[in-house]
Amino acid sequence: MTTEERVREAAVRLFAERGFHGTGIRDLAQAAGLSSATLYHYMGTKEDLLVGIMRTSLTELITAAEAIAGSTPDETDRLVSLVEMHVRAHAGKPRETAVVDGEMRALTGERRAEVVALRDRYEQIWQDAIADGVNAGKLHVAEPSVARLALLEMCSGVSRWYSPDGPLGLRDLTIQYGAMALGMLGAAR
Amino acid sequence: MTTEERVREAAVRLFAERGFHGTGIRDLAQAAGLSSATLYHYMGTKEDLLVGIMRTSLTELITAAEAIAGSTPDETDRLVSLVEMHVRAHAGKPRETAVVDGEMRALTGERRAEVVALRDRYEQIWQDAIADGVNAGKLHVAEPSVARLALLEMCSGVSRWYSPDGPLGLRDLTIQYGAMALGMLGAAR
């Protein structure tokens, strides 16, 4: 593991456990086995670290969602594939995704604008998928934007409760979420 | 407003904005216009304050949910009423509910056990409502506990995005959530 990877892993863990504002630079340096000066040299400020974590996570989600959108013309299948991908990402990396979802409030100015733009780009793919399904007569929702927000909150929530050590396997989890998503979006059964 | 109310309001605001670990006793005292010693005299430790906020919020939810469960024999209606109540509470008190949902990680020992027991009691009412609906043949889900967690995450999520100043009224919001909830739980249309 490189120094950068070690620092990032420590930051994800501490931000998830104690929150961004509750994590000091010294805590981060100690957890990564570095001095504060060395940490700064490698990684910049605490806010740089947070933005880096968010940029990586959101870019991975966007890449995966664009691949699905570009290769799945059937509107129902596309929605299910997006749900399965998002649930798998949030169940598999619960701390990263919880930090991305929960600490946007900690950013200000240009950094906030950059991360919000990435999040908006990701959510637009979902918005389009829902709107396409409605236009094709396959999904039935009162307002696509409300449905999108509700669906994403439902799917992101697995980062708060799912445990890979529990009785529910990841494959079964994603199948159940796909079915619930289609139901809430009024898909024909 | 009593001193106690003023302190609690400041605590809710700061915990929601900066997280529990990111909020110092001095920040709290300053926000409430008190000295740290006076704050301690009135409210005890920072953890006491957090537990008090969580106890109040969860007890209100339990009281409302028990009233619905005791007065709504139809399984479908009961589920919709629970969803509308929960969504209204989370849209109307976004900071309180976000602190309750997000800061349980900050508690340890007996305090944690007390709050987890309240949360479990609240979720059991939902679990029973879903199981009753499945047993009555009105709802169709693969696993009631997974459906309960997904549904609660979906509904609690409004505290993170809903704005009373936006175009969507609270009544319309709760109606749309009731319909989406029935869809995801496989209710007959």
State whether A184 and B181 contact (CB < 8 Å): yes
Residue A167 and residue A107 in one domain: yes
Residue A89 is encoded by which pair of tokens?
A: 């990402």
pLDDT on residue A84: 98
Residue B23 and residue B53 in one domain: no
Residue B72 and residue B96 in one domain: yes
Q: What is the DSSP string of chain B?
A: --HHHHHHHHHHHHHHHH-STT--HHHHHHHHT--HHHHHHHH-SHHHHHHHHHHHHHHHHHHHHHHHHHH--SHHHHHHHHHHHHHHHHHHSHHHHHHHHH-GGG--HHHHHHHHHHHHHHHHHHHHHHHHHHHTTS---S-HHHHHHHHHHHHHTHHHH--TTSSS-HHHHHHHHHHHHHHHTT---
Residue B96 and residue B18 in one domain: no
* Spatial separation of the C-alpha atoms in residues A110 and A108, rounded to whole Å: 7
Q: Is B108 on the interface with A (CB under 8 A)?
A: no
pLDDT on residue B105: 87
Higher confidence at residue A181 or residue B36? A181
Residue B39 and residue B106 in one domain: no
Best A107, A180, A182, A185 member to test B by mutation, with max B CBs in 10 Å, is A180
Residues of B with Cβ-Cβ distance to A160 under 8 angstroms? 153
> What Cα–Cα distance (Å) separates residue A168 from each residue in A97, A149, A161, A174, B153?
20, 25, 12, 10, 18
Residue A89 and residue A134 in one domain: yes
Q: Which domain holds residue B20?
A: 1-44
Task: Please tell me the pTM assigned to this model.
Answer: 0.94
Residue A76 reports pLDDT greater than 70? yes
Distance from CA of B157 to the nearest CA of A (A): 5
Distance from CA of A186 to the nearest CA of B (A): 6
User: Closest to B102 (Cβ–Cβ): which among A102, A156, A161?
Assistant: A102
Residue A27 and residue A67 in one domain: no
State whether A183 and B184 contact (CB < 8 Å): yes
* Spatial separation of the C-alpha atoms in residues A16 and A93, rounded to whole Å: 11
**Low-confidence residues of chain B: pLDDT under 50:** none
pLDDT on residue B188: 72
Instruction: Give burial (CB, 10 Å; 0-12/13-18/19+) of A158.
Output: buried
Residue A34 and residue A56 in one domain: no
pLDDT on residue A105: 86
**CATH code where residue A27 lies:** 1.10.10.60
Residues 123-162 of B with CB under 8 A from A: 141-143, 146-147, 149-154, 156-158, 160-161
Does any domain span residue B189? Answer: no
Number of domains in chain B: 2
State whether B153 and A150 contact (CB < 8 Å): no
User: Closest to B154 (Cβ–Cβ): which among A105, A150, A179?
Assistant: A150
Best B108, B127, B153, B182 member to test A by mutation, with max A CBs in 10 Å, is B153
Place of tokens 């199981």: B131
pLDDT on residue A61: 98
pLDDT in tens, A124-173: 999 999 999 999 999 999 999 999 999 999 999 999 999 999 999 999 99
Higher confidence at residue B188 or residue A7? A7
Distance from CA of B186 to the nearest CA of A (A): 6
pLDDT on residue B189: 58
ipTM score assigned to the predicted complex: 0.93
pLDDT in tens, B104-159: 989 999 999 999 999 999 999 999 999 999 999 999 999 999 999 999 999 999 99
Residue A114 reports pLDDT greater than 70? yes
Identify the CA nearest to B44 among candidates B117, B55, A22.
B55
State whether B19 and A17 contact (CB < 8 Å): no
Instruction: Give burial (CB, 10 Å; 0-12/13-18/19+) of B10.
Output: buried
Residue A18 and residue A75 in one domain: no
Residue A189 reports pLDDT greater than 60? no
Distance from CA of A72 to the nearest CA of B (A): 23
Residue A62 and residue A39 in one domain: no
φ, ψ of residue A93 to 5 degrees: the values are -130, 65
For residue A106, give the chain B residue with the closest CA.
B18
**A–B interface: beta-carbon pairs under 8 A:** 99
The single-letter code of the amino acid at A15 is: F
State whether A22 and B22 contact (CB < 8 Å): yes
Distance from CA of B86 to the nearest CA of A (A): 14
State whether B105 and A176 contact (CB < 8 Å): no
Residue A80 and residue A24 in one domain: no
Average pLDDT, chain A: 94
Does any domain span residue A189? Answer: no
**% of chain A with per-residue pLDDT over 70:** 99
